[in-house]
Amino acid sequence: MTRPETVTGRNGETSVVTVPRISFRDCLAKVRSFYLDLSQWAIEDPIQWARWVAPCPVGREDIGRRKHKRQHKARMDARTRERLPVLPVLVRTVDQRRRTAETLLHAARQTEPGTAFAVNGQTLIRPVLRPGTAADKIWAEDPTSGKRRDLGREEEYAFWAWAVVEVLRLTGVRIEELLEISHHSLVQYRLPTTGEIVPLLQIAPSKTDTERLLVVSPELAEVLSTIISRIRQPSGPVPMVPAYDWHECVWMPPAPLLFQRRFRTERRAISHGTVRKMLKSALADTALVDPADGGPLNYTPHDFRRMFITDAVMNGLPPHIAQVIVGHRDINVTMGYKAVYPDEVIQTHLAFLARRRGERPTEEYRAPTDEEWEEFLGHFERRKVSTGLCGRAYSTPCIHEHACLRCPMHWPDPAQRARIMEIRDNLLARIDEARREGWLGEIEGLQVSLAGADDKLAQIDRRSRRAVDLGIPSQRTP
């Protein structure tokens, strides 16, 4: 039911704490499966397995999933509610962190070894390296703590953390889809009506084995162009690198992947673990606190997908469109990702009531007089007509000038079916007479009334078929 977990405090110290094991039902399911397998094996080969059969200590209710699914939904909604409001803080932090790291690296390159330099209030010293030390790394020492920093690695982590956060929050893609975005994923579509070129981002098939296209917004286009400018070779093309598929456990052929970096003397695709490590490093600079345990707030790559769906649906995007964008087969999965805010429901309801009160005249919000009440009750008394009941609202005029058979608000009385049949026969005779006399304008109006009469008869027939006489059951005598 519990497991140990290593956590890092604000001061950088690590400690081991006991936390609930969320997936404990999977462990219990394996134990239950083992006991049930022993019972099955004993039926097939009792000589070998019968002595090992024992009652299973894990019951069916212990591995029930219904309550677990509700708890999982509540837990994911709570994560989204905690992280979506502070997402702008993370976006500003990773952007400022990238710019600061880039400025520090540029200033260090322009500084002679053994000389101090200052950027944004930070004073560092570029040390004098011993002969034979790798010259491709830019080191800097903090004069107060004496700690040596690899500015090139800091700038690289800061840049890719910014790129990961921006692409995830603007597209809502899965982490495996993010790392498979290549230079070939950027395609164009020309609108046939206006001829306008729309940039699209092609997402390769992943979980659902279906690809999809996303419209590239100006913010996403700027991020992707910055990434391409960084990894592009001096000759022009984006380097081809292989990537490892962790689900299929195979190496994919080399492709111009956008999320790649130089590792020692070669270029490699960025892995899942490196992305999480970059996000953790960036979150440490935000000083955001997890309200659950008071520790640093943690973001997983999938949190950005939930926040993307929640923000899109709350801002008016139809759920079925959001389903296509994020690549879900079932719209219920998409709605399950959306975290419903109680405040959203309350505010929307209050706004609806205020809007409705604003549209209605103020004098209507008062106690009615005796005359008005009698008139209101008289409306329902006057609803009875020759062929049924009139269902129009109080204080509304008759839109068909009392031609009830044409009105959709007319509710025909089954007892008046013969009268409606008589009216329909009369209409047929009048239509024949109008055709003989050439009254074309009269024919059109009579046909509308005839269609209304047929519709009322059909309504009566449908209502009469609902009641089925099943008879009275009788006891058979011997």
Whole-angstrom distance, CA of residue 32 vs CA of residue 29: 5
150-159, 263-272, 393-402, 437-446: least confidently modelled range: 393-402
What is the span of the domain harbouring residue 6? 2-64
- pLDDT value at 470 more than 50: no
410-to-79, 110, 118, 406, 449 alpha-carbon distances in Å:
53, 87, 85, 8, 13
The answer to whether residue 333 is domain-embedded is no
**pLDDT given at position 467:** 47
Backbone angles phi, psi at 213, to 5 degrees: -120, 135
End position of a domain, from candidates 299, 334, 364: 299
The answer to whether residue 325 is domain-embedded is no
Whole-angstrom distance, CA of residue 255 vs CA of residue 241: 5
What is the token pair recorded at 274? 């490196």
The answer to whether residue 346 is domain-embedded is no
Contact 212, 203 (CB under 8 A): yes
Indicate if 254 and 140 belong to the same structural domain: yes
Contact 245, 272 (CB under 8 A): no
Q: What distance separates the 2 farthest-apart alpha carbons in the chain? A: 116
- pLDDT value at 371 more than 70: yes
The answer to whether residue 459 is domain-embedded is yes
Q: What is the pTM of this model?
A: 0.62
Indicate if 113 and 244 belong to the same structural domain: yes
Whole-angstrom distance, CA of residue 167 vs CA of residue 98: 15
The answer to whether residue 330 is domain-embedded is no
Contact 147, 285 (CB under 8 A): no
Q: What is the mean pLDDT of the chain?
A: 82
Indicate if 104 and 177 belong to the same structural domain: yes
Number of structural domains in the chain = 3
End position of a domain, from candidates 282, 299, 316: 299
The answer to whether residue 17 is domain-embedded is yes
Indicate if 269 and 191 belong to the same structural domain: yes
Indicate if 27 and 140 belong to the same structural domain: no
Contact 297, 289 (CB under 8 A): yes
- pLDDT value at 79 more than 70: yes
Whole-angstrom distance, CA of residue 169 vs CA of residue 307: 8
Whole-angstrom distance, CA of residue 128 vs CA of residue 471: 105
Residue 468's pLDDT band, with cuts at 50, 70 and 90, is very low
Listed residue (79, 69, 77) closest to 25, CA to CA? 69
187-to-83, 214, 226, 395, 450 alpha-carbon distances in Å:
32, 10, 17, 59, 58
The answer to whether residue 75 is domain-embedded is no
Residue 403's pLDDT band, with cuts at 50, 70 and 90, is confident
What is the token pair recorded at 130? 């011993």
Indicate if 142 and 214 belong to the same structural domain: yes
- pLDDT value at 282 more than 50: yes
Indicate if 210 and 280 belong to the same structural domain: yes
Residue 444's pLDDT band, with cuts at 50, 70 and 90, is confident
**pLDDT given at position 424:** 86
Listed residue (37, 51, 4, 1) closest to 21, CA to CA? 1
Which tops the pLDDT comparison, 117 or 472? 117
Residue 17's pLDDT band, with cuts at 50, 70 and 90, is confident
End position of a domain, from candidates 299, 328, 345: 299
Indicate if 294 and 430 belong to the same structural domain: no
Q: What is the pLDDT of residues 289-309, one digit of tens each?
A: 777 667 778 888 999 998 898
What is the token pair recorded at 91? 């976006």
Backbone angles phi, psi at 97, to 5 degrees: -65, -40
**pLDDT given at position 134:** 58
- pLDDT value at 476 more than 60: no
Q: What angle do CA 222, 227, 229 make, to 5 degrees?
A: 95
Indicate if 291 and 221 belong to the same structural domain: yes
What is the token pair recorded at 162? 């910014």
Hey, which residues does 19 pair with through a beta bridge? 3
Question: Which residue has 């990961």 as its token pair?
Answer: 164
Indicate if 121 and 262 belong to the same structural domain: yes
**What DSSP state is assigned to residue 296?**
B
Indicate if 105 and 220 belong to the same structural domain: yes
Indicate if 46 and 161 belong to the same structural domain: no
The answer to whether residue 423 is domain-embedded is yes
Q: What is the pLDDT of residues 33-70, one digit of tens each?
A: 999 999 999 999 999 999 999 999 888 877 777 777 77
Hey, which residues does 151 pair with through a beta bridge? none
Q: Which amino acid is at 367?
A: A
